[in-house]
Structures are given as C-alpha cells and as structure tokens.
C-alpha cells in the first residue's frame, strides 16, 4: 500500500528516475524498489494477448521469440532503445509511466493497441494506451497506482506491423518515430490500420487521416504514397536543437511510408 503520496516514488530500472534525481529535477523522500516482485517479470500468452509484466526489461522484449513472432513492432521498438546497458535495466512499466513523448515503447504500445493494467489497494484497472498518455510526462496513473502489466492483443491473421525511428545518434531518443499495424482481408483489402507517431506531440498520436485513407483499399504504391502524405495532417511538432518543425513533418511522412510498406509486406507475405 502506498501511503506516502508525492513523497514516495516507484523505482524500477532507475534509468530515468535516477538520472532525474541526480540532476535535481526529481526528488523523493522514499523510493519503493519493486525489482524483487517476481510476478512482474514474466512474459506470457493469455486470452488472446501477450501479457508483459511491468518489470520486463527492454532487452527481454527485444529478444522474446513470443513477442517477435506475434507483434514484431514491439520488439523492434525495444531493440532501438538506447544502448545495451540501458536495455538491460530499463523496464516497460518504467518507460510507460515516465511517458517521455520521444520514447519508443509508448508509441509502439499505442500502435499495437495495448492496454495498461494498473494495480492499487482499490483493485485493478485496464486502460487503453490511447487514453493512458495525457501529456508531456503525464499519464492516467493515479498516485496510489502502479503499472502491473501491459496486455498486447495478438493481431488477427493477415496482420503486419513495423516500428521505425529517426534519431540523431545511434538509438538515441526519437526525433520522429512511427509504429504501424495493418490488417488485411482475404482479398488483400486493408480492414484495420493503426499508424501512430512519436516525437511530434506531447503524447503518441494516431495519424488519423492516414489510417482512414488506408482502410477499405488495396495497398499499391500510389495508395501508400498518398496515405503517408496525410501523416503530417493536423500535426504541429516542436522545433528544437535537434530538428525543426518542418523537418519533423517531412520525416513523419517518410517514416510512415516505410512503416506502411513494411507492415503490408509482412501481413501479405505471411499468407
Ligand atoms: C542514456 C539513456 C538513453 C536512453 N535512450 C532511450 C531511447 O532511445 N528510447 C527510449 O524509449 N528510452 C530511452 N531511455 C529511457 C529508458 O528507456 C528508461 O528505461 C525508461 O524511460 C524508464 O524505465 P525504468 O525502468 O528505468 O524506470 P525508472 O527510471 O525506475 O522510473 C521511471 C518513472 O516511472 C515510475 N515507474 C517505474 N515503474 C513503474 C511502475 N511499474 N508503475 C508505476 N510507476 C512506475 C517511476 O516512479 C519513475 O517516475 C534512455 C535512458 C538513458 C539513461
């Protein structure tokens, strides 16, 4: 039971929290180390979902054959986080709770339609990723809740996904990232499309116009090009030392095109 309100913080991998505390950007009178809760370290398949415990490390996700075979966009996202040392310690629960808009797993989990399951003394809640992220470093987590696990739906047959990011250095935080998951029917018509952008807004955002354009169509070169041009509709990404607004808008379109092509190839190639 968490009694300490703002004075206590959960410590998972420590890869964000300890850095912030060293910089005096965060402080806590009490750290609650959850690393010994074995139940939070498991990856399992259950009721049509891959269930990933909050303490599962980025490296485990990148190398899990279960995740790679069922939802490769999640393992792709984990594999491009930082360096091996950070991937060995950082956890999926910590990454989602931290809610950095340039982080990889928030965007990938939103694209995969994952649910964040929380726990508190009052019970548990299941929150859609799309509703979990509220703003810069801000989530739907209540003060007395922890993330217990993430449930990633197993995509239907003829689905394919992809995660791509553009960053300044090798595996740095995203300037722009795209996670996509497409599902086709027997006639190769796109029936469901999730295309989610990271690094361009305070939270991961669905490229709604791209998704709407893809649904109901067969994906030839021209369709995929037109769909990706819509990825920057309604976006006002920040301009900072790493990239201008205009650059991010162009990259959003380019990466979306590549992610859609990868997803379609994976979905239809597996028939
Ligand atoms: C050098 C460096 C480079 C990095 N590069 C990238 C990158 O390219 N891409 C990327 O996505 N990330 C990157 N990261 C961040 C990394 O992925 C972190 O692991 C992640 O953001 C936080 O996970 P953690 O387990 O370390 O959490 P912690 O640092 O332990 O905690 C982070 C926050 O989440 C809270 N928290 C942790 N677990 C829970 C839980 N189960 N329930 C509720 N609250 C919880 C903590 O209280 C804290 O507020 C980088 C980090 C470093 C140090």
For the stretch 69-86, pLDDT in tens is: 999 999 999 999 999 999
What backbone phi and psi angles, to 5 degrees, belong to 50?
Answer: -90, 120
Question: Can you give the pLDDT at residue 6?
Answer: 61
Which ligand 1 atom is nearest residue 17's CA? 29
What pLDDT digit, counting tens, does each position of 161-200 carry?
999 999 988 788 999 999 999 999 999 999 999 999 999 9
CB 210 near ligand 1, within 6 Å: no
pTM (two decimals): 0.96
Rounded Cα–Cα distance for residues 195 and 89 (Å): 29
CB 90 near ligand 1, within 6 Å: yes
When pLDDT is averaged across residues 248-253 and rounded to a whole number, the result is 97
Contact between 253 and 229 under an 8 Å Cβ cutoff? The reply is yes
CB 86 near ligand 1, within 6 Å: yes
Mean pLDDT of the chain: 95
* 3 state DSSP class of 210: helix
Q: What is the DSSP string of 110-176?
A: HHTT-EEEEEETTEEEEEEHHHHEEETTEES--TT-EEEEEEEEPPPSSEEEEEEEEESSTTPSEEE
What is the residue with the minimal CA distance to atom 51 of ligand 1? 15
Q: Which letter does DSSP use for residue 189 in this model?
A: B
Question: Can you give the pLDDT at residue 2?
Answer: 44
Testing ligand 1's pocket by substitution, the residue of 60, 80, 90, 105 carrying the most ligand atoms inside 8 A of its CB is 90
When pLDDT is averaged across residues 48-55 and rounded to a whole number, the result is 98
Question: Can you give the pLDDT at residue 170?
Answer: 79
Burial of residue 168 (CB within 10 Å: 0-12, 13-18, 19+) is exposed
Question: Can you give the pLDDT at residue 171?
Answer: 80
What pLDDT digit, counting tens, does each position of 121-169 carry?
999 999 999 999 999 999 999 999 999 999 999 999 999 999 999 998 8
Contact between 148 and 56 under an 8 Å Cβ cutoff? The reply is no
Rounded Cα–Cα distance for residues 243 and 252 (Å): 12
Rounded Cα–Cα distance for residues 1 and 43 (Å): 25
């Amino acid at each position: 039971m968490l009694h300490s309100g703002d004075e206590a913080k959960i410590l998972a991998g420590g890869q964000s929290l300890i850095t912030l505390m060293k910089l005096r950007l965060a402080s806590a009178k009490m750290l609650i180390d959850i690393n010994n809760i074995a139940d939070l370290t498991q990856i399992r398949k259950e009721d049509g979902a891959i269930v990933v415990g909050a303490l599962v490390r980025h490296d485990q996700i990148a190398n899990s054959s279960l995740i790679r075979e069922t939802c490769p966009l999640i393992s792709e996202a984990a594999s491009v986080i930082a360096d091996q040392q950070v991937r060995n310690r950082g956890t999926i629960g910590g990454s989602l709770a931290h809610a950095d808009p340039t982080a990889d797993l928030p965007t990938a989990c939103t694209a995969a339609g994952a649910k964040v399951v929380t726990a508190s003394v009052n019970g548990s809640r299941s929150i859609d990723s799309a509703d979990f992220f509220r703003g810069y470093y801000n989530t739907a987590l209540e003060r007395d809740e922890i993330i217990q696990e993430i449930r990633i739906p197993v995509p239907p047959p003829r689905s394919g996904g992809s995660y791509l990011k553009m960053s300044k250095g090798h595996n740095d935080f995203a300037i722009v990232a795209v996670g996509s998951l497409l599902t086709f029917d027997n006639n190769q018509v796109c029936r469901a499309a999730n295309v989610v952008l990271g690094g361009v807004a305070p939270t991961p955002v669905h490229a709604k116009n791209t998704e709407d354009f893809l649904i109901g169509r067969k994906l030839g070169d021209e369709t995929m090009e037109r769909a990706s041009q819509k990825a920057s509709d309604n976006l006002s990404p920040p301009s900072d030392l790493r990239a201008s607004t205009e650059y991010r808008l162009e990259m959003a379109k380019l990466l979306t095109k590549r992610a859609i092509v990868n997803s379609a190839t994976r979905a239809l190639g597996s028939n």
